[in-house]
A and B are shown apart, each in its own frame.
Chain A
């Protein structure tokens, strides 16, 4: 699995956009970029994923560079409830329809008033 590199922590003012970067320079052509977040003492929660194109859903947007070596998760209007650890993961599928997630240490996002 390709490794990912994320900043350890970031701060964001409530109501502003939170832009969380991730480096995955060794990603291979068939690997997807997934983002999960984990609010304190809860299980990780899926946010969004993409392969090549930018993606948007009700929670966030995902911008993947053309060379796919890095990506940015954007929370357009961060709220206090978005305070969490955000994990950028490159996912590998294997035969049989299975998949496993290789988590790093993630980025601790703190949203403040």
Chain B
């Protein structure tokens, strides 16, 4: 286990609703990244948070937003849910800076189903 915890593990929403997913980073890590993994595909980078600010973003629309809190935990918010948002959402943490080896520590993910 990596020490990265995500909640909820599974959830079902309907189109147009909003969802919030949560992530607690591993102790000592100050950066959190979020990835979306559709069925049968590799994870796709959504965005990254460092020092409570977004400091990198993939090709995702603005209805995907996030927060990072002073304790380095993070939330992913998705508004106006679409069917294609159904996926496994993965959170990963690491310590940015000179100690960064590029190794990301992933949680087990939150599986979102949009009906």
B contacts with A: majority SS? loop
Please encode chain B, from 29 to 60, with 1 for each CB lying within 8 Å of some chain A CB and 0 for all others.
00101010000111111001010000110100
Residues of A within 8 A of B108 (CB): 41-43
| Contact across chains for B90 and A44 when beta carbons are under 8 A apart | yes
| Contact across chains for A98 and B92 when beta carbons are under 8 A apart | no
Q: Per a CB cutoff under 8 Å, which of A34, A43, A49, A101 touches B107? A: A43
| Contact across chains for B48 and A98 when beta carbons are under 8 A apart | yes
How many residues on the B side are at the interface (Cβ–Cβ under 8 A)? 32
A residues sitting closer than 8 Å to B (CB atoms) are 32, 34, 41-46, 49, 85, 87, 91, 93-94, 96-106
B residues sitting closer than 8 Å to A (CB atoms) are 2, 4, 31, 33, 35, 40-45, 48, 50, 55-56, 58, 90, 92, 94, 96-98, 100-109
Residues of B within 8 A of A100 (CB): 33, 45, 48, 56, 58
Q: Chain A: which residue is nearest B40 at the CB level?
A: A105
Q: Per a CB cutoff under 8 Å, which of A34, A41, A45 touches B106? A: A45
A44 and B45 CA atoms in complex are apart in Å by: 13
